């Protein structure tokens, strides 16, 4: 099993102390910043937009992993690339011409990610398997932090891993929602590479320690 990549979700940070929280992630063993953009239409919640993203970018010293939970994401790809996104992930369910959207993200110099809601089968991506660098398997219904992982999504990660292996795709599998010390091992064993964690990091008594524990947990548990 590879060393897991940990991507703390800024959605759970203290927005009144954003610089402090961003600097904490800089100092931590985390690998990326996960940035959740919600428009109140694709998901029933609004998070934040470009001014906040720019503020994060000014202090962040690790790649920005931008998760767009918005309708018609094509309208904003260029702006997110300019705002410093290393990876831009769009939802399968929000893109009529997904291949075109992912191609555009790569043209803009970013890694292209595609996210699947719980009901979307992994096979929906089979015919465009070369068009993305990362697939985000939602492990909750998107829109809010602090939810419990939907158990069936662990099997879905396994199916995604099989599909990528079958097509020799180097794409990373990212999981998002309800990731904590109790769920990370099964997700890693199922084949996930990147672990988004909001609540389990920022609401922990010691976030730096929480990140370190998440980073080490999968390798501590024997494979069963």
Residues forming the site for Zn ion (CB under 5 A): 36, 67, 176
Please, which residues bridge with residue 65 across strands?
34, 87
> Please, is 93 exposed, middle or buried when counting C-beta atoms within 10 Å of its C-beta (0-12, 13-18, 19+)?
middle
CA distance 180 to 161: 21
Please, which residues bridge with residue 36 across strands?
67
Task: Considering only residues 10 through 39, tell me which ones interact with ligand DX5, judged by CB under 6 A.
Answer: 11-12, 34, 36
Using the contact rule CB under 6 A, the part of the chain among 21-29, 123-131, 156-164, 170-178 near ligand DX5 is: 170-178
184 binds ligand DX5 (CB under 6 A): no
> Is 176 marked active-site?
yes
> Is 14 marked active-site?
no
9 binds ligand DX5 (CB under 6 A): yes
The nearer residue to Zn ion, 36 or 193, going by C-beta atoms, is: 36
143 binds ligand DX5 (CB under 6 A): yes
Interface with ligand DX5 (CB under 6 A), residue from 73, 113, 177, 191 = 177
CA distance 164 to 103: 19
Q: What is the DSSP string of 11-59?
A: GGS-GGGHHHHHHHHHHSS---EEEEEEBSSSSS-B---HHHHHHHHHH
Choosing from 21, 39, 133, 176, the catalytic residue is 176
Binding site for ligand DX5 (CB under 6 A): 9, 11-12, 34, 36, 67, 140, 142-143, 145-147, 176-179, 196-200
Catalytic residues: 36, 176
């Amino acid at each position: 099993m590879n060393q897991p990549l940990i991507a703390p979700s800024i959605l759970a940070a203290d927005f009144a102390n954003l610089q402090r929280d961003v600097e904490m992630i800089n100092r931590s063993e985390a690998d990326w910043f996960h940035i959740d953009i919600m428009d109140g239409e694709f998901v029933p919640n609004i998070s934040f937009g470009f001014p906040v993203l720019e503020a994060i970018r000014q202090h962040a010293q690790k790649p920005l992993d931008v998760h767009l939970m918005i309708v018609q994401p094509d309208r904003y790809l260029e702006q997110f690339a300019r705002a410093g996104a290393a990876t831009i992930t769009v939802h399968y369910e929000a893109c009529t011409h997904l291949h075109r959207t992912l191609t555009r993200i790569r043209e803009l110099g970013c890694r292209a990610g595609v996210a699947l809601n719980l009901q979307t089968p992994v096979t929906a991506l089979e015919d465009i398997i070369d068009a993305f660098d990362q697939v985000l398997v939602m492990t909750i219904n998107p829109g809010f932090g602090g939810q419990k992982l939907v158990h069936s999504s662990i099997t879905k990660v396994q199916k995604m891993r099989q599909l990528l292996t079958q097509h020799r795709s180097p794409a990373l599998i990212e999981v998002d929602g309800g990731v904590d010390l109790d769920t990370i091992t099964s997700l890693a064993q199922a084949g996930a590479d990147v672990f988004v964690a909001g609540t389990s990091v920022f609401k922990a008594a010691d976030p730096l320690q929480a990140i370190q524990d998440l980073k080490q947990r999968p390798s501590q548990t024997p494979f069963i």
